[in-house]
Structure 1
Amino acid sequence: MDTGTHIAMGIALGGFATLDPAVQQDPTLFTAIMVGTIIGSHAPDFDTVLKLRNNAAYIRNHRGITHSIPAVCFWGIAIASIIYLFVPDVHFLHLWLWTFLAVILHVFVDVFNAYGTQAYRPFTKRWVAYGFISTFDPYIFGLHVIGIVAWLLSANPGYTWPMIYIIIVLYYIKRYIDKREIVKMIHEHYDHVGQIATSPTTKQNIWRICFTTDQHFFVGHIKEGHIEIDDKFYQIPIPDDPLMNLALKDKNVSAFLSFSPIYRWEINMYDDFNEVRFVDLRYRSDGHYPFVAVVQIDENMKIMNSYTGWVFSEEKLQNKLNLGDMV
């Protein structure tokens, strides 16, 4: 989820904590737990700092190890312990429990969007992306805003937040059923379907889809229960040749391939260099595929420039490459 929703969920957990008898009897503990749930609800995304290093490190690691099972345990203990240093008179077990729940909730909700996480590490490094909740869902965020406002207006948090989360759980179930129907529809209309990536939009009746068959990549959307294909590409195996093998060794391409499950590649030849480009097909937006990895290789088989990341125009991509933006 987006940062705003994660923080709103941390506030909601602080409201849930008022149901804890120990919290009801200790205002200081309540304050400590509220701080813990807000920080804990965002802590796994502290790996955003990797952007300061380069895009390759960020893409390879964001929502990776920081969202893993060991990390979830670490965040809860670390955050609660730091808070406890400043308020040693509070009940540590309750402080840790609510902070830990905030971290768990963060990772839990992240697995339902199209980006996903490596939440099952260390058992597997597979990216878990169930793809039926938007990274930013206005309905989920709006319900949290309603809950926060109601709380500020003196509504009982012990009643307010459970009611709101019952609605959210029902919403998740509804979106899951919607996705299941979409997957069923794709299998009914196409043979030999392999991977399917779905991504809901802010409109309930429109979904973005990307899927593979034995020979093709299909990119499109679902609108009012109908499949509309926007692009279709042949699946062409990556060639085993010196140019491609060199490109595959580049850190930016390697990071891209570690994350992207459905992509196409192309080679563009120019007078002074060749360009190898990988394009993630899951994120088509306004006819453009913004998530790419590009390597420029000169005539002497040396990498001139490379880039991976989100670029929403060809002009911006070329500017990054021309500047030698090796990030």
Structure 2
Amino acid sequence: MDTVTHTLFGMTLYGAIDKKNESKEMKKSLIVATMVGSQIPDIDVISRLWDTEGLYQMWHRGITHSILMVPIWAFILTALCTLIFKVKDYKRLFFISGIAVFIHSTSDLFNAWGTGYFEPLSDIRVTFGVIPIVDVVFWVIMLTAMIFTRFKKKNSYKSFRFAWVLIALHISIQSLQGYFLYQQYEGKYDQLALSASFVPWNYTLIGKKADVVEITDDALFLDADHLYTLHSKENTILDDLFIQNPDARTLYKWSPFVVIVDDEEKVGIYDPRFYMDGESFLFEYVEK
């Protein structure tokens, strides 16, 4: 998910806690636990500073987003709160911090970018593609809860808890529809990827069979709309590309499948899940 959504997740998690009898120090600790916990897996963006081998695509949403890192991040945040605010409710802080980190890492599984959810045990990028990276439904639910609690401050945490119920329901509906569509297309292709549209209940299916990639917009309750047919030069040897452009090797490993370009001007690869208006923004190539 995008940074704004993760921030709203943290605010909504903080709002869902009943803080009526908490001290000021504990409330500050809970803010750190929820807000920092909702962002800390994305600390991997600083790896750009020392990436000289084109590995950032694998590092971002890699080990820092692993499910195995949840208790480690929770421990770090609990220790931080204990040192700064001198609070001693370790178990509760650890639990809340862990929930915040878990929501971040797990929510990122549902969009097309995916995460290294099981690193370092596996470097497979887990992606479901049933939620867009920026989901306005999430924003509407959480912002509505915040606005509502401005007028109804008594037991306001209940409104935020209800918001989490709606978020879970939205994810479930999106996931079920995406699953059914995926099943309908799976038999037609050798490889298939799903990417949710910004419009709720609409999806893009990207299927590859031999050297042909087809991109189709579809929804359970609407007719399919074929968008593009792409041709991949599957017989192209990519060794020189990988040597001259290390980012291309990383993209090849990171993507479920790629389209290979080999024409008079360039040789390269791109991820067709992000193809729009004649190009993909994940395109790595070298000029001939």
- TM-score, structure 1 as length reference: 0.79
Take 1:159 and 1:209, find their aligned partners in 2: how far apart are those partners? 38
1:107 deviation in Å? 0.5
Which residue identity is paired with 1:115?
A: W
- Compared with structure 1, are the counterparts of its residues 99 and 152 closer, same or farther at alpha carbon in structure 2 (3 Å cutoff)? farther
Worse-matched range after superposition: 52-61 or 145-154: 52-61
Per the alignment, in what secondary structure is the counterpart of residue 16 of structure 2?
A: helix
C-alpha spacing 1:159/1:260, structure 2 compared with 1 (3 Å): same
Greater relative contact order (Cα < 8 A, sep 6+): 2
Residues 249-305 of structure 1 deviation map (CA, whole Å, 9 limit, x = unaligned): 3321122112112211122335xxxx32111100122343221111235xxxxxxxx
1:254 aligns with 2:256: no
Pairs aligned (count): 284
Match of 2:145? 147
User: How far apart are the structure 2 equivalents of 1:8 and 1:255?
Assistant: 31
Q: Give the conservation status (yes or no) of the 8 Å contact 1:134–1:200.
A: yes
Q: What displacement does 1:14 show?
A: 1.4
The corresponding residue for 1:161 is 160
* Structure 2 counterpart of 1:170: 169
1:7 equivalent in alignment to 2:7: yes
1:286 to 269, 274, 277: 277
Inter-partner Cα distance in structure 1 for 2:235 and 2:119: 28
Residue 41 of structure 1: aligned partner? 38
Larger radius of gyration: 1
Counterparts of 2:263 and 2:234, CA distance in 1: 17
CA contact (8 A) 1:205 1:225 kept: no
1:207 aligns with 2:207: no
Instruction: State the alpha-carbon separation in 2 of the partners of residues 158 and 173 from structure 1.
Output: 23
**Structure-1 separation of matches of 2:134 and 2:46:** 21
Identity, % of aligned pairs? 20
> What corresponds to 2:260 in structure 1?
265
User: What is the identity, as a one-letter code, of the residue corresponding to 1:16?
Assistant: A
Q: Which segment drifts farther, 201-210 or 52-61?
A: 52-61
One-letter amino acid of the structure 2 residue matched with residue 125 of structure 1: D
- What's 1:18 paired with? 18
- Secondary structure of 1:89's partner? coil
**CA offset at residue 72 of structure 1?**
2.2
Partner of 1:245: 239
> How do residues 302-317 of structure 1 correspond to structure 2 at under 5 angstroms?
none
Task: State the Cα deviation string for residues 88-128 of structure 1 (Å, max 9, x = none).
Answer: 23422212211111001101111011111011223321111
Unaligned segments of structure 1, at least 5 residues: 298-327
